[in-house]
Amino acid sequence: MEKIRKAKETIGRVILGKDEVVELLFVSIIADGHALLESVPGSGKTKLAKSFAKVMDGHFSRIQFTPDVLPSDVTGIQFFNPKNQEFELREGPVMTNVLLADEINRATPKTQSSLLEVMEEKQTTVDGETLKIAPPLFVIATQNPVEGNHGTFPLPEAQLDRFLFKIDMGYPTEQEEKNILRTYQKNEPFETLTPQISLEEILYIREQSKDIAIADDTMNYLLDLVRLTRESEDIELGVSTRGALAFMRASQARALLLGNDFVRPEDVKFLAPYVLEHRIVLSMEGSIRKTKSQVIQEVIQEVPVPVEAGSVQ
């Protein structure tokens, strides 16, 4: 895990005060998931995504979504080359290792849906030809929640379910913001970033995470949280089985990154808001009285945390 630690420290020199967010991104890629960053403009979402990609020794692509971006601009296109009188494949930006989908909620639903196959199946289809994407593929999407419905298209539940985490960047504290201003007063730290971990190492760690043990009590705790999202009066649509599986993978990944050989209940509790909140749909009455965040916090508080008994044999 030394390479991961160095990579996190390197990003921390550029993105100050967001250690928890950086940790969640590494958990996401180790768990073979994707992350959705949401916050007000100017909070560092795009720079964080670019910094994360830069510390990995892989290929990086970026799509700046606008309403006029077409699905073929994402997946690729067959075009006629007049020089040799033949059709040729022009690969889209999804053929990469780290894809930054910037302001994804500004794309039309048709264009958003072009990412579904890519994110879930790790492949794309161009004019009937299926192209496999070499692992790892990690999609970091950003969206601005304050734009309302002016030129934006909210992501449907099927698309949101493809993201392992939804992370709110939030504002920095006063001291963190002062540190940011001092750091960027004369220099641009982003330019000094260098790769710290290879793609092969990421894939190796990913395979290791699958061997992290989960005790029955911890697994039951995870499932109780998921089931309560389906039974709450405030929730119309609860977390799916795919969401439960993603929850488990994320818990294993975090345990490994913390140097543990088994998942602790605290790993599950820590990750719950990031995994569950964007996967639920509130009922009409629930949405009037509460936010999704409040409902998920109530779910977490209602389910007792099991006493940690130690490692699984």
pLDDT tens-digit series, residues 125-180: 888 788 899 999 999 999 887 655 566 898 888 889 999 999 998 888 999 999 99
Same domain, 186 and 225: no
Q: What is the mean pLDDT of residues 205-225?
A: 97
Same domain, yes or no: 242 and 182 = no
Q: What is the mean pLDDT of residues 1-11?
A: 92
**313 pLDDT above the threshold of 50:** no
Coil, strand, or helix at residue 285?
Answer: helix
Helices (H), 38-165: 45-55, 71-75, 109-121, 157-160
Residue 276, number of CB atoms within 10 A of its CB? 25
Q: How many residues can be counted in the chain? A: 313
Residue 84's pLDDT band, with cuts at 50, 70 and 90, is: confident
Over its C-alpha atoms, the chain yields an Rg (Å, rounded) of 20
Domain end position, chosen among 143, 159, 192: 192
Gap between the Cα atoms of 162 and 168, Å rounded: 17
Greater pLDDT, 235 or 47: 235
Asked if residue 25 belongs to a domain, the reply is yes
Q: What are phi and psi of 256, to 5 degrees?
A: -65, -45
pLDDT in tens, 50-78: 898 899 888 889 999 999 999 999 999 88
- Say yes or no: 158 and 231 in one domain: no
Q: For residues 47 and 173, state if they share a domain.
A: yes
- Judge if 126 and 185 occupy the same domain: yes
The domain of 262 spans 212-302
Domain membership of residue 126 (yes or no) is yes
Looking at the predicted structure, is the pLDDT value of residue 80 above 90? Answer: no
Question: What pTM value is reported for the model?
Answer: 0.91
Q: Is residue 229 one of the residues assigned to a domain?
A: yes
Domain count, the chain: 2
Give residues with Cβ within 8 angstroms of 7, minimum separation 6: 26, 55, 56, 196, 197
Q: For residue 148, what are the CA distances in angstroms to 151, 161, 215, 275?
A: 8, 21, 43, 23
Tens-digit pLDDT profile for residues 181-203? 999 998 899 998 999 999 999 99
Q: Answer whether residue 17 is part of any domain.
A: yes
* Cβ contact 117:123 at 8 Å: yes
User: 116 and 6 in one domain?
Assistant: yes
pLDDT at 9 over 50: yes
- 287: domain CATH number is 1.10.8.80
Average pLDDT of the chain?
A: 91
| 187 and 218 together in one domain | no
What is residue 120's predicted lDDT score, i.e. its pLDDT?
87
The whole-number pLDDT of residue 309 equals 52
In a domain, 140, yes or no: yes
Inside any domain, residue 271 = yes
171 and 236 in a common domain = no
**How much is the pLDDT for 197?**
94
Q: Are residues 179 and 230 in the same domain?
A: no
Tell whether 2 and 90 lie within a shared domain: yes
Give domain status of residue 310, yes or no. no
Is residue 204 situated within a structural domain?
Answer: no
How confident is the model over 87-109, as pLDDT tens digits? 788 889 999 999 999 999 999 99
Tabulate helix, strand, coil % of the chain (nearest 5).
Answer: 50, 20, 35
Q: Which of 124, 159, 192 is the last residue of a domain?
A: 192
Could you count the other beta carbons within 10 Å of the beta carbon of residue 153? 17
Domain shared by 107 and 179, yes or no:
yes
17-56 confidence digits (pLDDT tens): 999 999 999 999 999 999 999 887 888 888 888 898 899 8
The CATH number covering residue 184 comes to: 3.40.50.300
182 and 45 in a common domain = yes
Q: What is the pLDDT of residue 85?
A: 79
